[in-house]
Amino acid sequence: MSHELIEPDLALLQAGKVLIDVRAPVEFRQGSLPGAVNLPLMNDEERHRIGIEYKQAGQQAAIELGERLVAGDVRRERIAAWQALLERHPDAIIYCFRGGLRSRVAQQWLAEAGMPRPRIRGGWKAMRQALCARIDAAAEQPQLVVGGLTGCAKTSLIQSLECGLDLEACARHKGSAFGRHPLEAPSQIDFEHDMGRRLLELPGPLALEDESRHIGVANIPLTFWRGMQRAPRIRVEMPLDWRLEQIHKDYIADLWTVYQGQFGDWLGWSLMRKQLSSALLRLRKRLGSARLARLQRLQELAFREHERGNPKAHEAWLAPLLTEYYDPMYRYQLEKHSDQHFLHVGDWDSCLAAARDWAASATPA
């Protein structure tokens, strides 16, 4: 029982199991499994030293160094951290990179402390392979891509569908220069793992927003993205005033809510201003110097008005940003791909209804 192994089954993630990741923090930051808590057997420095010992003197010498480094009070502290988590989540499961020595040691120490828990056969690597395989398989599921001008609330439409897969949520990015989330973006591995986890709940047709392959710093896996390119499309068309309200909600109101909640009034306001002004500056090449300078002046005036209690003042720079930058860019892409066929073109409500009809027809009886 103290060395129990369980298979790398994605049902563990569907069940919301808490996972004890005993890899070093540097490995965890590069990519973890959904539901994992990093309680390492070795910290980064200890792992580094053991790695050098392994290269210079072999496996046995590395094991012996590890036993010396993680001993006494250090060992007791590591075990106590695992025990504290297991007291809150008694069915938690252990894993390391390949399900080998580190998770086996953690499992043995916990068993000796009277808290035996299983570990995942093949560890992180086996579970990652299963998640990536799920993404590749999803490329063959029926897909519907939702397009439209910026501000047409395509993300909200996707979120309103039972078959919707919100890739921007996986990337923590709204997919434009102004779409960066206040919280740190996930690593590429974590983006893929979140995407794979969400796909576990979506075995049938999939509705997705029209995206380039890059969403912020994340890349949609190539096989899946090619599936999106082959998919039928619908296009949302809404008037400028309606879209402007949506853009204001996304770029100003919702952004401020997150910044204020995370950092408080003063720092949150400073960070939001910095993000929005930096996003505008990143469009310098496409806007041109004169247009950029005009929008920067309007943006600065809007910040001042916002501080006086008038957040709607941002529409003065958001409106020309839509009409002079985003709209022409989208229409250019439409002309460039004039062979694209749209199953439906209409307002938001009609596109939602069309997407639901498509999902019903694409679901096997």
SS3 sequence of the chain = CCCCEECCCCHHHHCCCCEEECCCHHHHHHCCCCCEEECCCCCHHHHHHHHHHHHHHCHHHHHHHHHHHCCHHHHHHHHHHHHHHHHHCCCCEEECCCCCHHHHHHHHHHHHCCCCCCEECCHHHHHHHHHHHHHHHHCCCCEEEEEECCCCCHHHHHHCCCCECCHHHHHCECCCCCCECCCCCCCHHHHHHHHHHHHCCCCCCEEEECCCCEECCEECCHHHHHHHHHCCEEEECCCHHHHHHHHHHHHHHHHHHHHHHHHCHHHHHHHHHHHHHHHHHCCHHHHCHHHHHHHHHHHHHHHHHHHCCCHHHHHHHHHHHHHHHHHHHHHHHHHHCCCCCEEEEECHHHHHHHHHHHHHHHCCC
What is the spatial distance between Cα 120 and Cα 169, in angstroms, rounded to a whole number? 28
What is the spatial distance between Cα 297 and Cα 174, in angstroms, rounded to a whole number? 24
Given a contact cutoff of 8 angstroms between Cβ atoms, the answer to whether 80 and 104 are in contact is: no
96 as an active site residue: the answer is yes
Handedness of CA 234, 238, 244, 245 (dihedral sign): negative
Q: Of the residues 96, 152, 163, 170, which is catalytic?
A: 96
Cα–Cα nearest to 211, from 254, 168, 270, 160 = 168
Q: Tokens in use for 59?
A: 């496996």
Q: Which residues are catalytic?
A: 96
